[in-house]
Amino acid sequence: MKKILVPVDFSEYSEYALEVAAQIAKQQNAGIIIFHMVGISESVLSKSELEEEEEAKYYIHLAKEKIKTFTDKPYLEGIDVKTVLQNLKIFSEIDLVAKEQSADLIVMGSHGISGLKTVFVGSNTEKVIRTAQVPVIVIKRRRPSFDVKNIVFAFDLKQENANAFKAVQEFAKTFSATLHLVYINTVGINYMSNSQIQQKIDAFLALIGEEIPIKIYNDYSVELGIFNYANDVNADMVAIPTHGRRGLAHFFIGSIGESVANQSSTPIMTVKI
């Protein structure tokens, strides 16, 4: 890991993300790219060329001053920090910035006040997750000590998740963390018998070429099961594979566990399949 992209809007939540990114950067000897969307309005861009240039300079100057104050933090000392300002209008374009800057990881903050269904579906965070080709870590509260010892990788046992698993496995190794694989078996149309689940487990393990225990956890919904299991193993992070533009909606539609997710402050990593 060489570069970590941190989108900031100068809120306390993006500062939480920056502090976590700094801790990862120090452990990995990586640099940090602080990205801010200047967001110059259409009204500015529709003015004369001279007016447009002057107002654009004004907004960029304000952003630079804010970033100077925002990054004046002891935890950033000794880290190679680069600032990128761009006039982007939609959060999905952050993936383009990540590609341009050759970022290996995105760390971003989220208030998470309405649980995961809102944090990941129909929000700016979800837009980043759906388009990002690199892993995204979502931070919802301040973590002055980002000490990752237990990571839960929750997935549906499909073989397409193999690359996502490998990415999370490598991340766990960098922190010397224990990786817990879990399949949430729910009631209803998606319910599978133990023998059906075991067949999928055997096929997945054969594909990755490793013998790793995979926990079968029964619960009323995938969302509820993930967080109950994460609590059971004292997880410091939950990792979930995503399907690109499908986002995470398939995990949370109709979930009765929203109240549990709403109160969870566990960092979440998403990895593109």
Sequence-ordered list of residues with C-beta below 8 angstroms from that of 53, at least 6 positions apart, any chain: none
Residue with more model confidence, 224 or 163: 163
Residues 263 and 152 in one domain: yes
Q: Considering 112, 143, 174, which residue would you say is the last residue of a domain?
A: 143
Q: What value, to the nearest 5°, has the Cα angle with vertex 72 and ends 69 and 77? A: 160
Q: Which domain holds residue 135?
A: 1-143
Whether residue 20 is predicted with pLDDT greater than 50 in this model: the reply is yes
Q: Give the count of domains, the chain.
A: 2
The tens digit of pLDDT for each residue in 134-148 reads 999 989 889 989 989
Average pLDDT over residues 172-191: 92
Residues 113 and 152 in one domain: no
Residue corresponding to tokens 């956890």: 217
Residues 157 and 124 in one domain: no
Residues 119 and 19 in one domain: yes
Would you call 154 helix, strand, or coil by DSSP? strand
Residues 139 and 155 in one domain: no
Residues 64 and 136 in one domain: yes
Residues 126 and 162 in one domain: no
Residues 110 and 212 in one domain: no
The tens digit of pLDDT for each residue in 240-256 reads 988 765 545 555 444 43
* Start-end of H helices in 29-131: 42-45, 49-70, 94-100, 116-120, 124-131
Residues 124 and 136 in one domain: yes
Report the run of H or E that residue 179 belongs to, with start and end. Answer: strand 178-186
Widest Cα–Cα separation across the chain = 71
The type of residue at 108 is: M
Residues 169 and 239 in one domain: yes
The tens digit of pLDDT for each residue in 183-193 reads 999 988 788 99
Structure tokens that stand for 80 in this block? 């190679």
Residue corresponding to tokens 């046992």: 157
Residue corresponding to tokens 């599978």: 192
Mean of all residue pLDDT scores within the chain: 83
State how far the Cα of 220 lies from the Cα of 57, in Å rounded to an integer: 54
Residues 89 and 112 in one domain: yes
Residues 160 and 135 in one domain: no
Q: Considering 143, 168, 200, which residue would you say is the last residue of a domain?
A: 143
